[in-house]
Chains A and B, each alone.
Chain A
Amino acid sequence: MSYAQKRCGACRFLIGTPAALERAVPGYNILSSAYGSVRADTGLCDRHDRFVTAATEACPDFSAAAPESGSGRG
């Protein structure tokens, strides 16, 4: 698997969809939104409890998401 395929965006530990992120941080949608441009593709790594930029970061604990789940967990 190439480096590009192992980025956080393709990892099963990533909480990356807008709806999942808003569930993961209650109150986030009060004065902000996971659907906005400012978030870009920031996601939450559930393995390391870290916010990451999904398309440009990676780590050795990568574990491929199921193909049908798209970008990380939703």
Chain B
Amino acid sequence: MSSTTQDAWNEGGAGAKPPSGGWSDVYLKEDWWAIWLGIGLMVLAILLFEGGASGIAKAIAINPGGLKWTTFDQLGAHFAANGNLYLYQFLFWLVLFGVTTRIMGVPLAQFIPSFLILYVLSVIMFAIAGWANAAKFNMEAPLVALILGLVIANVFPLPKWMDSAFRVEYYIKLSIVLLGATFPITLVLTAGPVAIAQATVISLITCLVIYFLGTRAFGLDRRLCAVLGVGGAVCGVSASMAIAASVNAKREHLYTSVTLVVVWALVMIIVLPFVSRSMGLPAGVAGAWIGTSEFADAAGFAAATTYGHMVGNEDAAIKGFTLMKVIGRDLWIGIWSIVWAGIATIVWEKKEGGKKPDAREIWWRFPKFVIGFFVASMLMTAFTGSFPTAEFNKDVRPNVMLPLVSLRTWGFIFCFLSIGLTTRFRELHAVGWKSFWAFTIGVGVNVVLGYILSVVVFGGYWGAL
């Protein structure tokens, strides 16, 4: 392809349409569906509460995680007594996810059998988590779900079409919106600036370390280094894909990012909670550290939830992680997209590709589900603000908040299982040593700098969550 002609063609794109389906995004992108479902479930819980029918919400949100059973008879009795509720719940989730993914283009004939398996495995995960001795053996639900999923996906040849229901990102986005319903907006407003400041430091330094190490020390292709740099600094493969378009990266570049992000994310899901426990970190501090170290939201929530279970303070660990990762780092995607598009076009040789930077990218590539998190937080804060504390604790918490927390936990378990079930190591691309070290050193910087910022610089702040 002639580079001059390519540039001329691209420069003719002034006034081009937005790189999306415009309004159709609201029913074709899972971010928007996560918002509709999350806010819809929240409003439904409130309406049922106001109508004196909270029993419906509690029934739909049933799970065996809080049983603390010690014998199989107890577990069997729970399922015998509530079998019909689990059937209704399965149908409830199946309709919500089946219809919405169908609208997005996923065939129902593939989704239904796959989701049935995912649901059954999730019930088993909850049952394990509800065992009275689970914590003694470090059988935290996220870790068990991840490991079980990995074993199944890599021992049994699951057909690829089953991925139709193993939608890691969709489940985690819905869970994050539901998380907003239990997240006071005052905390978002007071903690947000610190999270954004910390995320800015991490995002800049990690991205630049990977990029300059890759290009200067290892002589790697600069498009590959941009893709790896943002993948390590912001939000893993999603960020890499956004930057791949900005710099016109090759398929191999994204493939390399997928392999490195997945491998290191899995390692950190398992390692970070145990290291945090050995250091005796408060839950909020560990959550923030995980939020600065992990790449993908789903992997980070698995690690933060695991640590929260370990120390008996899941709430603080999830709050620290959410503030740091979802509110802090994820917002950098659109900014990096236009920065790299600008670098590719203005600084690099034009013949290497690249397109003109466009400030609208910040909105086009904005992770929209974050809006749902904020809206849910504001609406629920407004609703609960009218109740005296005693009434809130007696009526609102058990009838509105706890069902939403349970639904969120279902979303988490679907997500954690799906991570394992979609990770087929044989499918991952072989990665060169230079790429491996450039990214791995960046991971090291991320972890060390994240520790310094989360524990030393802002430790008192995160510890108070």
Contact A33 B168 (CB under 8 A): yes
Contact A36 B9 (CB under 8 A): no
Q: How far is the CB of A21 from chain B (nearest CB, A)?
A: 9
Inter-chain CA distance A23–B239, complex, in Å, is 19
| A1 interface residue per 8 A CB criterion | no
B105 contacts which of A19, A48, A58 (Cβ < 8 Å)?
A19
**Which residues on B sit within 8 Å (CB–CB) of A6?**
9
* Contact flags A30-42 to B (C-beta < 8 A → 1, else 0): 1111011111111
**Which residues on B sit within 8 Å (CB–CB) of A29?**
163, 166-169, 422
**Which residues on B sit within 8 Å (CB–CB) of A50?**
248-250, 353
Chain A residue, CB-CB nearest to B244: A51
Contact B168 A52 (CB under 8 A): no
Q: How far is the CB of B279 from chain A (nearest CB, A)?
A: 26
Stretch at the interface among B11-19, B61-69, B133-141, B306-314: B11-19
Given A17-B105, A38-B365, output 5 extra A-B contacts at Cβ < 8 Å.
A26-B424, A35-B104, A44-B251, A53-B19, A56-B10
Asked whether A7 and B16 contact (CB < 8 A) given A26-B427, A27-B429, the answer is yes
Contact A38 B6 (CB under 8 A): no
A-B contact pairs, 27 of them (CB 8 A): A3-B12, A19-B105, A25-B255, A26-B427, A26-B428, A27-B255, A27-B428, A28-B237, A30-B237, A32-B168, A32-B169, A35-B29, A35-B30, A36-B238, A38-B235, A38-B242, A40-B19, A40-B364, A41-B19, A42-B19, A48-B1, A50-B249, A51-B251, A52-B248, A54-B19, A56-B358, A57-B9
Of A4, A18, A31, most B-chain CB atoms within 10 Å = A31
Q: How far is the CB of A73 from chain B (nearest CB, A)?
A: 14
Total interface residues in chain B, CB < 8 Å:
75
Asked whether A37 and B106 contact (CB < 8 A) given A44-B251, A53-B355, A60-B9, the answer is no
**Which residues on B sit within 8 Å (CB–CB) of A30?**
168, 237, 258, 262, 419, 422-423
**Which residues on B sit within 8 Å (CB–CB) of A25?**
251, 254-255, 258
Inter-chain CA distance A48–B246, complex, in Å, is 15
Contact B242 A39 (CB under 8 A): yes
Q: How far is the CB of A20 from chain B (nearest CB, A)?
A: 10
Ranked 4 nearest A-B pairs via Cβ: A33-B169, A32-B237, A31-B296, A51-B244
Contact B9 A58 (CB under 8 A): yes
**Which residues on B sit within 8 Å (CB–CB) of A58?**
9-10, 12-13
**Which residues on B sit within 8 Å (CB–CB) of A31?**
168-169, 236-238, 261-262, 265, 295-296, 298-299, 419
Contact A60 B419 (CB under 8 A): no
| B58 interface residue per 8 A CB criterion | no
| B5 interface residue per 8 A CB criterion | yes
Inter-chain CA distance A60–B7, complex, in Å, is 10
| B273 interface residue per 8 A CB criterion | no
In the complex, chain B residues 227-264 whose Cβ is within 8 Å of any chain A Cβ? 235-239, 241-242, 244-246, 248-252, 254-255, 258-259, 261-262
Chain A residue, CB-CB nearest to B245: A42
Chain A residue, CB-CB nearest to B366: A37
Of B238, B249, B368, B427, most A-chain CB atoms within 10 Å = B238
Q: How far is the CB of B309 from chain A (nearest CB, A)?
A: 21
Of B28, B254, B367, most A-chain CB atoms within 10 Å = B254
Contact A27 B364 (CB under 8 A): no
Q: How far is the CB of B270 from chain A (nearest CB, A)?
A: 15
